[in-house]
Amino acid sequence: MNLNYIKPHEWKIIEEGFNKEHITASESIFSIGNGAMGQRANFEELYTGETFQGSYIGGIYYPDKTRVGWWKNGYPKYFAKVLNAPNWIGIGVTINGKSLDLSTCKVIDFKRELDMRNGVLSRSFIAEFDDGDIVKVLSTRFLSMDIQEVGAIKYSVTPINFQGEIAFSPYIDAGIMNEDANYDEFFWEILDQKETGDEAYILSKTLKTGFLVCTGMKNELILNEFNIDLEKEVSSSDKSIIYSYKTMVNSGDTFSIVKYGGYTQSMNHPDAELCNVSQRQLIKASELGFDSLLERQDKAWEKIWDTADIMISGDIKAQQAIRFNIFQLNQTYSGSDSRLNIGPKGFTGEKYGGSTYWDTEAYCIPFYMSTKNKNVAKNLLIYRYNQLDKAIENAQKLGFNKGAALYPMVTMNGEECHNEWEITFEEIHRNGAMVYAIYNYVNYTGDVGYIASHGMEVIIAIARFWSQRATFSADKEQYVILGVTGPNEYENNVNNNWYTNYLAKWCMEYAIENIELLKENYPEDYVRIAEKVTLDESEINTWSKVAGQMYFPFSEKYNIYLQQDGFLDKELIPARELPKSERPINQKWSWDRILRSPYIKQADVLQGFYFFENIFDQESLKRHFDFYEPLTVHESSLSPCVHSILAVKIDRIDKAYEMYLRTSRLDLDDYNHEVHEGLHITSMAGTWLSIVQGFGGMRNFNNSLSFDPKIPKNWKSYSFKIIYRDHIIKVFKNHEGCKFYNESDTPVNITVSGKEVTIFNKDLVIL
């Protein structure tokens, strides 16, 4: 079953009617975040039905003990796990002594809305108790993009058919267990609690990693429009602080609580200051007041949307979907902190230990690079630069030496968080993506200085890895790379995965090229780095030899590169001929059957053609697309976007649109039956790419920016903006043609469908 209950709307995500079966899915879909923290859309009040409570703080992790079937040397003993954080959103509600709990009340007119324009989550409903008491409830919640350590909730209750006592019991609770814990251990220790006035604070510490977090709340009570003072009752435990405020309310009157809350944490402040800072932030928020804080929220998001928005006319579900993707990416990562990254589930769940995959380098960097200033992408690169030592250690564990680095498959702190040998040890193409991202960044931004300041060290360490990992085949008289898993994880431990071999060759050549560049243009940096990493000429010669003699599996018969050695031994039956009942194959087939089948989980050879499109000609791309696409089952969220982009390139707009649909509403329509676990954040960047690089045809090679806009039949028009170096360019496309507007103060040269165009500052070009 696809859930498919979200109402279409240009700017909003809307759920209408109360359905217990949608609760955990909606908790994911309506998640909110501000880059520093985030939370699932759990109810503030008690809910005794099935729910997955989750709040997360950027950068806070716990080294959970590894759990595997059969231990292999090189597996990490511990690995970083996304940590479910203390709860500050909770507000118990009692009506004449009865707990408000949507699982037990009769619920009428339930509506949940997430306004993507400003990141405000609201919920309204009428609840009827067994004894006939009826209340109307409205809650509004957001995490401030302006004061990143603060969130605010306004929660109002109106008795409809009675006069009675209403109590709010706002609380903070650090007694939180991870949903995803290997041994059901508790990951937090409580250090201190502080109660003062209408505020409360709990200082807690993660076990082992020793992160300190102060969770705070500050409450205000309002009767109709007026703030009121109420005596609080306190009922705390060793892990939580609960305040309780009650008052008599007349039928039709509205009793509200405004709760400010959030976290301060030791990555950002001295340990001893955490509670003081938290208090200052909450007081600041409260002094501004809920409405002013909300105004600032509107402005912050307006600024984001100004460059990031994509408008699609004529297809409201496509419009809603692309905005949802852009919105989630911006909630997850704001780009201001190079210690953070984009987790595959963002702040919406905790599946998969660790938070950083090669998704960041391959998919997310282009999105952030084009919609934010270049420091955001740079911070993502620096994140990896800062983890280079750990990547070198990781390679050492696997038997590499002399400063060779292998970046982990997934990580939080630079250490490997994955342990299936065929992935952890063998899916090494990820290492190439690290270098590709540097190339991509420098190519797009022109910031060559980054190579000198940071990039070169990473590039050298990775070139070293590839030259050691390749071995000379006396049989083939070429260098081979044995025992790898490519991006297509439906093949394991194969020899000579074309994508991996190609990336390896390219990385070594790119390393040599940049060493030359540094020698010439940044001689001091060259000397500094060569000394630091003890670079010698002979190893550069080795890279050159290994790259130059790299083997690529090729079929004369089909005139295509083979995904790996022996690929043609498979029975090449197109995926469309598989019975529906056997799809998706990863849920229906045993692993060995998947492995010996020709079916491709996600772009593999085609991922290489996407990365290095400038090197392969159009005819070659067509041949490879026609050979591999029919065998591709797209059971990774990262697959359709690449196919969509390439399909546009070879003028298959219908195919591109089909692929676009698969990527853009993956979570809203719950294609993979797993949205309750959280959203697929990183693949959302792929959706953005499908429009900008796909339909928009944006490319950037050799300091030249080009477009080749196409439009799907059933759209009226679409438009997007990109930031390119010092320029902001707005692109509009409809069936008549396209328009380019240069928002910046200097002219910009672009190529549109092969034709060079100069757009003057603040000028519009119609083509």
- Point out the residues that are catalytic: 489
Interaction of residue 636 with a copy of itself, rule CB under 8 A: no
Which stretch in 338-346, 532-540, 586-594, 671-679 sits in contact with a copy of itself by CB under 8 A? 586-594
- When binding is defined by CB under 8 A, the residue of 492, 500, 687, 690 that contacts a copy of itself is 492
Residue closer to a copy of itself by CB (options 353, 712) is: 353
Which stretch in 138-146, 477-485, 690-698, 738-746 sits in contact with a copy of itself by CB under 8 A? 477-485
Supply the angle between the helices 537-548 and 498-521 in degrees, to the nearest 10: 140
Q: What is the 3-state secondary structure (H, E, C) of 378-404?
A: HHHHHHHHHCHHHHHHHHHHCCCCCCC
Quick check: 689 and 682 in contact, CB under 8 A?
A: no
Residue closer to a copy of itself by CB (options 175, 483) is: 483
- Please identify which residue in the block is written with the tokens 């006939």: 132
Which stretch in 198-206, 408-416, 471-479, 667-675 sits in contact with a copy of itself by CB under 8 A? 471-479
Residue closer to a copy of itself by CB (options 397, 545) is: 397
Buried b (16+ CB within 10 A) or exposed e, 638-652: bbbbbbbbbbbbbeb
Q: Among 470, 369, 522, 492, which Cα is nearest to 422's?
A: 492
- When binding is defined by CB under 8 A, the residue of 70, 238, 581, 736 that contacts a copy of itself is 70
Residue closer to a copy of itself by CB (options 43, 425) is: 425
Residue closer to a copy of itself by CB (options 370, 485) is: 485
- Residue 627 CB, nearest distance to a copy of itself (Å)? 14
Interaction of residue 736 with a copy of itself, rule CB under 8 A: no
Interaction of residue 472 with a copy of itself, rule CB under 8 A: yes
Interaction of residue 77 with a copy of itself, rule CB under 8 A: no
Q: Among 404, 340, 465, 384, which Cα is nearest to 60's?
A: 340
Interaction of residue 580 with a copy of itself, rule CB under 8 A: no
- When binding is defined by CB under 8 A, the residue of 537, 569, 577, 736 that contacts a copy of itself is 569
Interaction of residue 480 with a copy of itself, rule CB under 8 A: yes
Rounded Cα gap, residues 484 and 432, in angstroms: 13
Rounded Cα gap, residues 10 and 129, in angstroms: 36
Site string for a copy of itself, 40-69 (x = CB under 8 A): ---------------------------xxx
Residue type, 386: N
Interaction of residue 7 with a copy of itself, rule CB under 8 A: no
408-447 residues near a copy of itself, rule: CB under 8 A: 419-422, 425-426
Rounded Cα gap, residues 352 and 359, in angstroms: 14
- Residue 422 CB, nearest distance to a copy of itself (Å)? 8
Rounded Cα gap, residues 435 and 473, in angstroms: 26
- Residue 586 CB, nearest distance to a copy of itself (Å)? 8
Interaction of residue 577 with a copy of itself, rule CB under 8 A: no
Residues paired with residue 258 on neighbouring β-strands, in sequence order: 154, 220
Interaction of residue 229 with a copy of itself, rule CB under 8 A: no
User: What are the start-end ranges of the H helices in 414-479?
Assistant: 421-424, 429-445, 449-450, 456-469
Quick check: 397 and 74 in contact, CB under 8 A?
A: yes
Residue closer to a copy of itself by CB (options 595, 765) is: 595
94-153 residues near a copy of itself, rule: CB under 8 A: none
> Where are the strands (E) in 677-752, listed by range?
699-701, 704-707, 717-724, 727-734, 738-742, 748-752
Which stretch in 26-34, 367-375, 489-497, 737-745 sits in contact with a copy of itself by CB under 8 A? 489-497
Interaction of residue 584 with a copy of itself, rule CB under 8 A: no
Rounded Cα gap, residues 746 and 741, in angstroms: 12
- Please identify which residue in the block is written with the tokens 């328009």: 739
Interaction of residue 200 with a copy of itself, rule CB under 8 A: no
Compute CA 381 distance to the chain's CA centroid, rounded to the nearest angstrom.
15
First-to-last alpha carbon distance for the chain, in angstroms, is: 45
- Residue 598 CB, nearest distance to a copy of itself (Å)? 10
Rounded Cα gap, residues 432 and 678, in angstroms: 28
- Residue 220 CB, nearest distance to a copy of itself (Å)? 48
Interaction of residue 483 with a copy of itself, rule CB under 8 A: yes
Q: Is the dihedral of CA 512, 513, 514, 518 positive or negative?
A: positive
Q: Is the dihedral of CA 125, 131, 132, 135 positive or negative?
A: negative
- When binding is defined by CB under 8 A, the residue of 77, 588, 673, 716 that contacts a copy of itself is 588
- Residue 494 CB, nearest distance to a copy of itself (Å)? 8
Interaction of residue 627 with a copy of itself, rule CB under 8 A: no
- Residue 683 CB, nearest distance to a copy of itself (Å)? 19
Quick check: 747 and 758 in contact, CB under 8 A?
A: yes
Residue 674 makes CB contacts below 8 A (sequence gap 6+) with: none
Buried b (16+ CB within 10 A) or exposed e, 520-556: eebeebbeebbeebebeeebbebbeebbebbbebeee
Residue closer to a copy of itself by CB (options 494, 750) is: 494
Interaction of residue 590 with a copy of itself, rule CB under 8 A: yes
- Residue 571 CB, nearest distance to a copy of itself (Å)? 5
Which stretch in 470-478, 634-642, 669-677, 726-734 sits in contact with a copy of itself by CB under 8 A? 470-478
DSSP 321-378: HHHHHHHHHHHH--SS-TT----TTTTS---SSSSB-THIIIIIHHHHHHHS-HHHHH
- Residue 399 CB, nearest distance to a copy of itself (Å)? 5
Length of the chain: 767
- The pair of structure tokens assigned to 291 is 């409405």
382-401 residues near a copy of itself, rule: CB under 8 A: 397-399
Residue closer to a copy of itself by CB (options 557, 580) is: 557
Quick check: 355 and 380 in contact, CB under 8 A?
A: no
Rounded Cα gap, residues 681 and 360, in angstroms: 10
Q: Binding-site residue total for a copy of itself (CB under 8 A)?
A: 48
- When binding is defined by CB under 8 A, the residue of 48, 235, 471, 761 that contacts a copy of itself is 471
Count of Cβ atoms closer than 10 Å to residue 495 Cβ: 16
- Residue 67 CB, nearest distance to a copy of itself (Å)? 7
Q: What angle do CA 533, 537, 538 make, to 5 degrees?
A: 105
Quick check: 222 and 264 in contact, CB under 8 A?
A: no
Rounded Cα gap, residues 88 and 259, in angstroms: 9
Interaction of residue 78 with a copy of itself, rule CB under 8 A: no
- Residue 596 CB, nearest distance to a copy of itself (Å)? 4
Which stretch in 517-525, 569-577, 649-657, 700-708 sits in contact with a copy of itself by CB under 8 A? 569-577
Q: What is the 3-state secondary structure (H, E, C) of 592-606?
A: HHHHHCCCECCCCHH
Interaction of residue 578 with a copy of itself, rule CB under 8 A: no
Q: Compute the chain's Rg from CA coordinates.
A: 27
- Residue 20 CB, nearest distance to a copy of itself (Å)? 27
Interaction of residue 544 with a copy of itself, rule CB under 8 A: no
Residue closer to a copy of itself by CB (options 70, 226) is: 70
- When binding is defined by CB under 8 A, the residue of 48, 227, 541, 587 that contacts a copy of itself is 587
- Residue 550 CB, nearest distance to a copy of itself (Å)? 13
- When binding is defined by CB under 8 A, the residue of 20, 77, 280, 476 that contacts a copy of itself is 476
- Contacts to a copy of itself by CB under 8 A: 67-70, 72-74, 397-399, 419-422, 425-426, 471-476, 480, 482-483, 492-496, 557, 565-566, 568-572, 586-593, 595-596
